[in-house]
Amino acid sequence: MNGQVFLIVSACIVGADARAADTTIDFDDLLPGYWSGGEYAGQGVTFSTAGSFLIADDSSFDSVPILVAGSVDGSRADAPITARFWRPGGEPGLTDAVRFNVIDFGGVEEWSARIYGVGGELLETVVGTGGAFGDPHLVEFTRPSPDIHAVTFLPSVEYEGIDTLVFGAVVPAPATLGLWAGAIVLGGKRRPRRAR
């Protein structure tokens, strides 16, 4: 293998690795209807809703299923949907990039999306109105380092869902590092008190 070929092959391998780190969930393997939210746990993500149900909805459009959530009374698809990221074994995980499409099957009203850290802290919010069927609105969060544990989509009362969720590699949350840092800080504060 000469040097030029080696460089090309190396570049291809690096490119493939970068793409392989992303996981895409398009919900297309779900049959339309109710689902638990745990169907993709093996891929590092679970879904839940503040409403009463999650549903894979094709809504008789040409689209393959999207994910929507019903409100508590079950009459509308307008409840928040939260995706959480996990490591194998069920430990909380963090990623540095999340994106998904908003698909709007109803009238134009304001929706929002939020990302949260592992302690539930709000990191960023995006507000929008786009996403008409046939013209998906891309919502994208990119962080300088992996600190996204959850993303919540808050639809309006006018029927939006999400599709094609893509997220970067999920790494362990540094809980152990946090505990050690706390112990060091506490230890450092205690010594002067004893000396007084």
Q: Which residues bind Ca ion (CB under 5 A)?
A: 26-28, 64, 104, 106, 158, 160, 163
Please give the single-letter amino acid code of residue 145: S
- Please give the structure tokens belonging to residue 100: 């998904």
Of 93, 80, 117, the C-alpha closest to 45 is: 93
Of the two residues 78 and 96, which places its CB atom closer to Ca ion in the complex?
A: 78
CB of 84 to Ca ion, least distance (A): 20
CB 79 within 8 A of CB 52: yes
Q: Is 182 exposed, middle or buried (0-12, 13-18, 19+ CB in 10 A)?
A: exposed
3-state SS string for 52-115: CEEEEECCCCCCCCEEEEECCCCCCCCCCEEEEEECCCCCEEEECEEEEEEEECCCCCCEEEEE
Which residue's CB atom is positioned nearest to Ca ion? 158
CB of 45 to Ca ion, least distance (A): 15
Pairing of strands 111-116, 45-49: unpaired
CB of 3 to Ca ion, least distance (A): 44
Of the two residues 98 and 118, which places its CB atom closer to Ca ion in the complex?
A: 98
Of the two residues 138 and 181, which places its CB atom closer to Ca ion in the complex?
A: 138
Count CB-CB contacts under 10 A for residue 49.
Answer: 21
CB of 104 to Ca ion, least distance (A): 4
Of the two residues 147 and 160, which places its CB atom closer to Ca ion in the complex?
A: 160
Of the two residues 26 and 124, which places its CB atom closer to Ca ion in the complex?
A: 26
Of the two residues 39 and 158, which places its CB atom closer to Ca ion in the complex?
A: 158
CB of 46 to Ca ion, least distance (A): 18
3-class secondary structure, 120: coil
CB of 57 to Ca ion, least distance (A): 10
